[in-house]
Structure 1
Amino acid sequence: MVKFVGQVLEGEYQLALTGQTLPETVLRRGQNAMNVKMFHHGLKFEVVPSKFEENLKKSSFAGPHEYATATARGKALEVADRLYSQVKKPDLIIGADTVVSLGSDIIEKPADEDDAFRILKRLNAKTHAVVTGVVLVVPSLTDTGTEKYDTVEFHESTEVCFGDLTDEMLKAYVATGEPMDKAGGYGIQAIGSSLVQGIHGDYFNVEGFPVYHFCKKLVQVYRERQQSSAPRTDQHS
């Protein structure tokens, strides 16, 4: 899918924007190796870790997707402001943030092994949601000096059902070390898959990035930009 999108954008991008073979992409969310793997299939990118402090107050948001999208926005805009001030304008900056929600509670990465066990115990034999907020930053087509870039935002939610697992199984999983850098304390792409009874929605979103939704949105964005930048033909009666 990503390779296909890269091929589609190649033609569109040459006509609509700078004529480069492929967009120069800055992948903001560099922690997840799966994200890097996906982009090897067609988009040239550079990982630029954001300096945005991920300390937004969860209670000030209506729900998980608003919180995740706001965090993704903070990450992406910090990178955009920094790079644009260096007169380096990537054609695309991607910011993403993934959280797990159980009811109205937002669950992020565990602080330590005890916290990881507590999180997994809460998720045990229940259905939770994995929510990813994504923010795309693209150069403004009407750059007046004040509006340097435009943003496009979306989110994806996937339901995940944990099996009924014993404490021994959960502790053994925590002991692998895998939960420590994962939202919700597990990784479905590896050993954590043994905890999951089923999912409803985008599997890759549970891994950390909604590939299908991203590809669909990316094509939409560049088609709109192509149309906006195309020369207008006067119509005479």
Structure 2
Amino acid sequence: MLSPLRELLQQYQLILASSSSQRKAIWRQIGLKFTTKASPFDEESVNPNDFADASKFVEYLAHHKAEAIVRDLERNEQLKTIVVGADTVIVDNGKIIGKPHTHAKAIETLTRLSGRTHNVFTGVSIILVSSLQNKEGNREASFVSRTEVEFASLSEETIKSYVQSDEPLNKAGAYGIQGLGATLVKSIKGDYYNVVGFPIQEFCEKLEILLRTCKSE
């Protein structure tokens, strides 16, 4: 992590409201010191059809994931805590593609995406906790990152072979670009790390702005 942001973070506890191994790996890659807490927020209870578009949907989920962790903070936990929530979805032709939980669903999803361009949206919510008693005293920044991903034309044999690796299961869009799924991707337009699951450059930029604003108040 570069020194300007590292210095600003010295007095804060940083919590990633996610159990995603990909997000944790990205954070560790740049040297962030943090703890993880899986958010108790039930994202499965939220209907994406209730939102005007995918960006509003992921922004909503990211906020509520982070907010649920803030509510669970103990009164004796260190204040000046930063909680970060995130959510990633794949959108093909306006339709949100969920995580496959079976081989059959993964094959169906990859067959649909073959030879096509889809979008990856990640919503990120950053909540700086200044008071556990007064929610209005907290500061929040949020944003949504979008990346276009073009798949190569995939043969049935390729799709079945990839699915048999089990990598696609429980991944948005049924692939992991950081693993074997890289062989399926012809090109991307936008942030690679957004496709992995966390747009780290924009996050650092927004976090630094938030911390500098709070420091000057």
Q: TM-score, normalised by structure 2?
A: 0.92
- How do 1:87-102 residues align onto structure 2 when only pairs under 5 Å count? 87-89=77-79, 91-102=81-92
Partner of 1:18: none
- How do 1:171-210 residues align onto structure 2 when only pairs under 5 Å count? 171-210=160-199
CA distance in 2, matches of 1:85, 1:197: 50
Which among 5, 12, 15 is matched to residue 9 of structure 1? 5
CA distance in 1, matches of 2:92, 2:140: 29
Please tell me whether the aligned partners of residues 48 and 79 of structure 1 are also in contact (alpha carbons under 8 angstroms): yes
Structure 2 residue runs of 5 or longer lacking an equivalent are none
Runs of 4+ in 1 over 4 A off after TM superposition: 84-88
Which among 98, 110, 115 is matched to residue 108 of structure 1? 98
CA distance in 1, matches of 2:115, 2:75: 49
SS in 1 for 2:38: coil
CA distance in 2, matches of 1:208, 1:43: 16
CA separation of 1:119 and 1:85: change in aligned 2, threshold 3 A = farther
Amino acid at match of 2:25: K
CA distance in 2, matches of 1:184, 1:107: 6
Q: Shift of residue 12 of structure 1?
A: 3.7
Please tell me whether the aligned partners of residues 70 and 129 of structure 2 are also in contact (alpha carbons under 8 angstroms): no
Q: Shift of residue 90 of structure 1?
A: 5.3
CA separation of 1:26 and 1:118: change in aligned 2, threshold 3 A = same
Q: Report the identity percentage.
A: 33
Partner of 2:58: 68
Residues paired across the two proteins, number: 215
Partner of 1:212: 201
Max Rg structure:
1
CA distance in 2, matches of 1:78, 1:72: 10
Partner of 2:118: 128
Q: Shift of residue 85 of structure 1?
A: 5.0
CA distance in 2, matches of 1:116, 1:85: 43
Structure 1 residue runs of 5 or longer lacking an equivalent are 14-20, 229-237
Amino acid at match of 1:130: V
CA distance in 2, matches of 1:73, 1:144: 19
Q: Shift of residue 108 of structure 1?
A: 1.9
CA distance in 2, matches of 1:198, 1:105: 21
Greater shift, 40-49 or 121-130, is seen at 40-49
Please tell me whether the aligned partners of residues 26 and 90 of structure 1 are also in contact (alpha carbons under 8 angstroms): no
